[in-house]
Amino acid sequence: MTLNDDTSTEKSMRVVVTGMGAVTSLGTSVEALWAGIKSGQVGIRPVQNLPMDSYLTSLGGEVQEKVASGKTYPLCITHGDLVSAANERVLEFALQAGEEACDASGKSLQNIPAERWGVVIGTCMGGLSSASQWYKAYLDGVSASPECLLLFPPQSLAEIIGSVFGVKGPIISLSTACAAGANAIGYAADLIRSGQADVVLAGGTDALSDVTFAGFHALESLSPRPAAPYSRNRQGLSLGEGSGMLVLMRADLAEQLGVPMLAEILGYGLSADGYHPTAPDPYGRGAKRAIQAALKVSGVLAEQVQYVNGHGTGTAKNDSAETKAIRLALGAAAEQVKVSSSKSMIGHLLGAAGTVESIIAIKALQEQLAPPTANYDSVDPECDLDYVPNVSLPLPMNVAISNNFAFGGNNACLVLGKGDLSSASPATPGNERVVVTGISTLTSAGCTLDEVWEAFAKKQSSIQTKDGKRVAWVENLDPSPFLTVRDRRRMDRLSIFSVVATHLALANAALEVTDENRHDIGILFGSGLGPMESMEKFCKPLFSQGTAAASPGVFPNTVFNAAAGQVAIHVGTLGPNSTVTTGHGAGASAICYGYDQVANGLATAMVCLAVDTLTDAVVQAYSDLGILSPKSSFALAEGGVALLLESLSSARKRGARIYGEITGYGMAADGHGIGNFDRHDSGVRRAMCRAVQHAGIDIQKVNAIWANQSGFRPSDLAETTAIHQVFQESETLPVIYTPKTLFGEPVGVGGALNTALALKSWQCEQPSSPGEQKYALINSSTLGGTHFSLLLRSYQEEEIAL
């Protein structure tokens, strides 16, 4: 069968849901979930698989049915065997939900090439139970299976899922805490609309753990009875677990293949509160902006919204703030809308909540039935909407929205329409050119771009060797101009680096954040390791002393998006805000996502921020995995880089200095599992070719490649082979630069640092001839074979004046 790949039609820009899968406390299928939800069945009950005697509650939305996908997958770095998914519940859930979603889409999916499939996974805590096994052994001074480490990072989960389903397109993980599932669906739709994929398996997954229970216990947020969202007598939230997965597809392709179109993803909106690490803006202003942004891109008016699947956690502050947000966003139309919280029945699924609740909203659209809010017993004057108390309500509807808000002040809203494409006509995305106007670098070679460039130009290595381990630490960073001592006491180094790097990049761009522009400037944060310092600080006393030692001050910093939230609070950038956790490719991934936000007109500027910081335990983990070895030239590093991406029209208007332009990017995966790179059907090659195709230039115009080369032999060989394949018809190869051989592998920061150095190099070279343009490819790869390639173009003063 030949598929029409014409992406110029209006329907090619529309994204539909063709399959759904769910694993929750109400059952291990969408059918079981919806049957329980619409009947008001409460699946919050005594937890069986964890000791619960030290918490404020013994209840949770636990998956008690057996979940066994039977899938196996390659899992290795320097060695490996087939490992069963049953080793990690968070994977079990996602694989079973994914299988249900793909099966529901039908056999026609087999006609879609693997290279046109993508995966986007949202999670809050990742494979935390696996990481805990290794960390407990580390604290006890005994060895543990290093495979445990590979089941923890969100990107590893995404890449394992990708390999199981044979995906060779973009494989992305993100972690905006409790908004991650909704964010994953929205970004997956973006990837389809931008042409990076035709079909994406998207969703969220999280599992109950002693760490999450202890954290919410320390915050005194757990309800002793099943959560009663919006009710006057609510006492807190109920934790849950599970996964929701959707198959998203181009609408024209779905019609061509004859697959079911269950619903349409009309659009989504993101925002930041910039208020507090855990509490929402009490006036609902941040959440309001996310809802309004989602409605705007969806082409939906407030009065067209008939149903809202609410965030509704059951905590006093969240429910009243959401009520205010809905009223602010919908205005007079809020009087007629029906709102309900599924968390009253399945608990709060954290990173999986947004996807599972979207599935419920889609079923509500299909059956024209507003599901209830269970456990509702009395009216709260601060929660004064119609919450469909306890019993489902027949409701004619064409549009539903799903709200998800999170620690760190991350807000996400999805707008869903009926599958016949009749609900609304989404707005056409913008077509802005994207330039870089600000750069900051915090590295082992120095904390200014000039210092880093000088070290690179002079080939001065900043790598130190201790106990046979090659590591590069950031020293002499002074955060005092930007953060008080009191502020720093509440933050880890990841957040401190993030705030400082953002301030410096904005200053370098001469862009002041004001009341007038703060809602148009967003943050795209990328981190491969995430908050390991805070995670260790929280878990060490918890594991040795028990729940009483769990710190309520540290727990909010254990989510991956905490640093981005701190940036919003301390810098004041309240536009679109998200956190990508794409491993060693996180910086490049953040730039790709930030590029789309600016290019599509969703933000005037985005700070694309990549930060990773090391601890002794992290260094030991890389050593245990065999990556950091005396026999290898690989060195581990830490650092932070911020790039201000801005629309060309905005940069010209304010007379900004322009370092260069981002003209395209590509994403691809090898699809062979963790640590397995393909040198034949290379993902690196496909990512580079896609970047050049996206930019619309001839490959021969590329003058330079800033390579991913880090001393990790499997990845290095794959990239070297790919470069020769791509440029095999060229008389000469582009100049290849390898900064990581001097500064080490700064985990997720490498792609952003290479971008900064490439842009700086054009400033230091001899001026080009009038009209001559220079192009550079920036390559970045994860340890699991997901590859990113950015195409940069130089910018001349003559062109700025055009």
- Angle formed by the axes of helices 532-545 and 210-218, nearest 10°: 90
Residue 802: is it exposed, middle or buried by C-beta count within 10 angstroms (0-12/13-18/19+)?
exposed
Would you call 608 a catalytic residue per the annotation?
no
Would strands 464-466 and 469-472 be described as parallel, antiparallel, or unpaired?
antiparallel
Cα–Cα distance measured from residue 354 to residue 385, given in angstroms and rounded to the nearest whole number? 21
**101: CB partners within 8 A, 6+ apart:** 19, 20, 21, 201, 203, 245, 246, 247
Contact 471, 503 (CB under 8 A): no
Contact 120, 184 (CB under 8 A): yes
Local structure of 675: helix, strand or coil: coil
Cα–Cα distance measured from residue 128 to residue 215, given in angstroms and rounded to the nearest whole number? 13
Give residue 511's pLDDT.
98
pLDDT at 267 over 50: yes
- Chain segment 19-61, per-residue pLDDT in tens: 999 999 999 999 999 999 999 999 999 999 999 999 999 999 9
| Residue written as token pair 């770095």 | 77
Contact 255, 11 (CB under 8 A): yes
Q: What is the mean pLDDT of residues 438-456?
A: 98
> For residue 645, which phi and psi values (nearest 5 degrees)?
-95, 130
**Three-state DSSP string of 574-618:** CCCEEEECCHHHHHHHHHHHHHHHHHCCCCCEEEEEEEECCCHHH
Q: What is the mean pLDDT of residues 136-142?
A: 92
Element containing residue 567 per DSSP (H, E): helix 562-571
pLDDT, greater one: 85 or 376:
376
Q: Return the amino acid letter for 116.
A: R
CA separation, residue 214 to residues 127, 538, 553, 645 (Å): 17, 10, 12, 39
Q: What is the mean pLDDT of residues 456-473?
A: 94
Q: What is the mean pLDDT of residues 238-242?
A: 99
Confidence of residue 522 (pLDDT cuts 50, 70, 90): very high
Confidence of residue 78 (pLDDT cuts 50, 70, 90): very low
DSSP code at position 248: E
Give residue 108's pLDDT.
87
Cα–Cα distance measured from residue 414 to residue 290, given in angstroms and rounded to the nearest whole number? 9
Would you call 539 a catalytic residue per the annotation?
no
Q: Report residue 125 as tokens.
A: 């805590």
Residue 75: is it exposed, middle or buried by C-beta count within 10 angstroms (0-12/13-18/19+)?
buried
Residue 359: is it exposed, middle or buried by C-beta count within 10 angstroms (0-12/13-18/19+)?
buried
Confidence of residue 70 (pLDDT cuts 50, 70, 90): low
Confidence of residue 79 (pLDDT cuts 50, 70, 90): very low
Give residue 227's pLDDT.
99
Domains of the chain (ranges plus CATH)? 11-418 (3.40.47.10), 434-800 (3.40.47.10)
Q: What is the pTM for the complete model shown?
A: 0.96
Would you call 680 a catalytic residue per the annotation?
no
CA separation, residue 462 to residues 141, 498, 504, 584, 635 (Å): 30, 21, 22, 19, 10
| Alpha helices (H) in 127-283, listed in sequence order | 128-140, 147-150, 154-164, 180-193, 210-218, 251-257
Cα–Cα distance measured from residue 35 to residue 26, given in angstroms and rounded to the nearest whole number? 9
Burial 670-689 (b: 16+ CB within 10 A, else e): bbbbbbbbbbeebbbbbbbb
Options 311, 584, 672, 694, the catalytic residue: 311
Contact 709, 684 (CB under 8 A): no
Bridge partners (DSSP) listed for residue 770: none
Nearest to residue 119, comparing CAs of 154, 67, 82, 90? 154
Q: Of all residues in the chain, what percent carry a pLDDT higher than 70?
A: 95
- Chain segment 183-218, per-residue pLDDT in tens: 999 999 999 999 999 999 999 999 999 999 999 999
Options 102, 178, 383, 689, the catalytic residue: 178
Local structure of 517: helix, strand or coil: coil
**143: CB partners within 8 A, 6+ apart:** 137, 624
| Residue written as token pair 């120095």 | 446
The CB-based long-range contact list for 474-478 (8 Å cut-off, 24+ gap) reads 474/442, 474/443, 474/444, 474/447, 474/613, 474/638, 474/639, 474/640, 475/444, 476/447, 477/442, 477/447
Q: Return the amino acid letter for 303.
A: E
Q: Report residue 699 as tokens.
A: 């490959």
Nearest to residue 102, comparing CAs of 19, 185, 190? 19
DSSP code at position 237: B
- Chain segment 97-124, per-residue pLDDT in tens: 999 999 999 988 899 999 999 999 999 9
Q: What is the mean pLDDT of residues 684-693?
A: 97
Q: Of all residues in the chain, what percent carry a pLDDT higher than 90?
A: 86
pLDDT at 131 over 50: yes
Give residue 72's pLDDT.
64
Rounded to the nearest 10°, the torsion over CA 563, 567, 573, 575 is: 0
- Chain segment 707-744, per-residue pLDDT in tens: 999 999 999 999 999 999 999 988 788 999 999 999 99
pLDDT at 85 over 50: no
Give residue 150's pLDDT.
87
Give residue 428's pLDDT.
83
Cα–Cα distance measured from residue 25 to residue 347, given in angstroms and rounded to the nearest whole number? 8
Confidence of residue 76 (pLDDT cuts 50, 70, 90): low
Nearest to residue 175, comparing CAs of 495, 500, 499, 565? 565
Nearest to residue 341, comparing CAs of 379, 317, 307, 294? 307
Contact 408, 177 (CB under 8 A): yes
Cα–Cα distance measured from residue 170 to residue 516, given in angstroms and rounded to the nearest whole number? 36
Give residue 75's pLDDT.
58
Cα–Cα distance measured from residue 523 to residue 572, given in angstroms and rounded to the nearest whole number? 10
Element containing residue 494 per DSSP (H, E): helix 493-508
Cα–Cα distance measured from residue 91 to residue 390, given in angstroms and rounded to the nearest whole number? 33
Cα–Cα distance measured from residue 339 to residue 319, given in angstroms and rounded to the nearest whole number? 11
Give residue 730's pLDDT.
80
pLDDT at 2 over 50: no
Cα–Cα distance measured from residue 312 to residue 305, given in angstroms and rounded to the nearest whole number? 18
DSSP code at position 27: B
- Chain segment 770-797, per-residue pLDDT in tens: 557 899 999 999 999 999 999 999 987 6
Give residue 30's pLDDT.
99
Rounded to the nearest 10°, the torsion over CA 535, 541, 544, 548 is: -120
Give residue 73's pLDDT.
61
- Average pLDDT score over the chain: 94
Options 102, 148, 348, 539, the catalytic residue: 348
Element containing residue 621 per DSSP (H, E): helix 616-624
Confidence of residue 8 (pLDDT cuts 50, 70, 90): very low
Cα–Cα distance measured from residue 218 to residue 552, given in angstroms and rounded to the nearest whole number? 5
pLDDT at 598 over 50: yes
**729: CB partners within 8 A, 6+ apart:** none
Contact 706, 758 (CB under 8 A): yes
Nearest to residue 596, comparing CAs of 550, 664, 530? 664
Confidence of residue 429 (pLDDT cuts 50, 70, 90): confident
Give residue 802's pLDDT.
38
pLDDT at 9 over 90: no
pLDDT, greater one: 463 or 69:
463
